[in-house]
Amino acid sequence: RINMDATLETSEETGFYDRNAAAKLHERIEKRQQVLAEDVERRKEARQSQSVAEEKSEYFVSSFNAERAGIQELLSGCSGADRPTVTQKLEEATAKMTQLQKFLNDSMIFLSQYQIRVAQGALQKLQASLNETREEALPKKKFAFRSRTKAAENVSDSPPPPSSETVSSGVTKVDEATISAQTGFSNISNESLTMTSEEIQSRDVLLTHLTNCKVRLYGSPSTLHLKHITACEVLCGPVATSVFVDHCSNSVLGLACQQLRTHNTTDTQVYLHVTSRAIIEDCRGVSFAPFCWSYPTLDQDFAASGLDQDRNNWSQVDDFNWLAAGTPSPNWTVIPEADRKTAWDP
């Protein structure tokens, strides 16, 4: 307890207590008590906030695992079933996968980085299992991409099947991992390539083995795959689900999507709009900035894709090769504002 009488100042001339000193002392005591009370309240709110976050996290984990188990059960039920039953189960599993991805996206605000990585890894394995089940139960006829010399010419939907890896007509067989893609460009150099909304809307698009090309994809595809892209500039309208980039180098990409997965990519700029978190693996020299490409029907394509135009996590990047907590990954950077590209087409 502070001895107020002992601390009051006495005037040497009058011998009376200094009333101003007493008032100042009272003020200091009241301020100190207020600070202590505010500190107690902050600690209380922090404990409550932590408790709520833990409860939300526990709910997410249990709900996520239950939904994942339900999808796995649907896929298991495809084994030995007739075609109509398989089709129904796969459609249901696909819808549940979309809901589960949205559940993860909406929960990221209170999940730890470790929990996000675990959930994203589980979704990736589940998607691979779904694709494998679909291929086994409902196999599609293989097709090939044909090289094009005209900019706006897209891949034929039903080309003749190739007899070998490369046939005399110039048709190149696409690897097994990407035969589900339905349209795109392949094996082209030094060209300007364009596809319209009618050509790519709600379809899977594959760009592979392109060198020094300028690509413009107007519309909202379902997915986008980029493989073996060198010294290219690729701009694409809003992708409803995921963009997969593999073996890309010295390129500039403009992408809007729900999820971005980038592998084996070097010295590439990505102008990105992503509603979850971008993922890189086995990459170096990758840099990011906000998506800034625009064309007349962009808003309509965002609406068609279902992406939230006001939610962009372009700078939230998870590097699966860099798990050191609290230390930024050296494999990616943010493009300085002064160095960002703003004009794309004349």
The predicted-structure confidence for 160-169, as pLDDT tens digits, reads as follows 444 333 333 3
pLDDT number for residue 205:
92
Tell me: pLDDT of 326 over 50.
yes
What is the Cα–Cα distance from 274 to 308, expressed in whole angstroms? 9
> What fold is seen in the domain 144-339?
Pectate Lyase C-like (2.160.20)
The residue among 109, 91, 101, 89 whose CA lies nearest residue 126 is 101
The residue among 225, 230, 271, 223 whose CA lies nearest residue 248 is 230
How many helices (H) and strands (E) in the chain? 6, 16
Please check whether residue 97 is in contact with residue 119, taking contact to mean a CB–CB distance below 8 angstroms: no
Structural tokens at position 127:
């998607």
Tell me: pLDDT of 47 over 60.
yes
- pLDDT category, 143, cuts 50, 70, 90? very low
Q: Which residues are bridge partners to 253 per DSSP?
A: 234, 270
* Residue pLDDT, tens place only, 309-318: 999 999 999 8
Tokens 């963009």 locate to: 243
| Cα angle 215-230-184, degrees, rounded to a multiple of 5 | 40
Determine how many CB atoms are found less than 10 A away from the CB of residue 185: 27
SS3 28: helix
Higher pLDDT pick, 209 / 168? 209
Distances (CA, A) of 203 to 132, 198, 312: 19, 10, 23
pLDDT number for residue 190:
95
Tell me: pLDDT of 192 over 90.
yes
What is the Cα–Cα distance from 187 to 265, expressed in whole angstroms? 19
**C-alpha 217: how far from chain center:** 19
**C-alpha 306: how far from chain center:** 14
Structural tokens at position 128:
């691979």
Higher pLDDT pick, 154 / 324? 324
Tell me, yes or no, if the two domains 8-139 and 144-339 fold the same way.
no
Please check whether residue 186 is in contact with residue 147, taking contact to mean a CB–CB distance below 8 angstroms: yes
**C-alpha 215: how far from chain center:** 21
pLDDT number for residue 15:
47
Please check whether residue 291 is in contact with residue 275, taking contact to mean a CB–CB distance below 8 angstroms: no
* Residue pLDDT, tens place only, 223-237: 999 999 999 999 999
pLDDT number for residue 264:
94
Listed by start position, the domains of the chain span 8-139, 144-339
CATH 1.10.3720.10 assigned to 8-139? no
Strands (E), 177-222: 183-189, 192-195, 204-211, 214-217
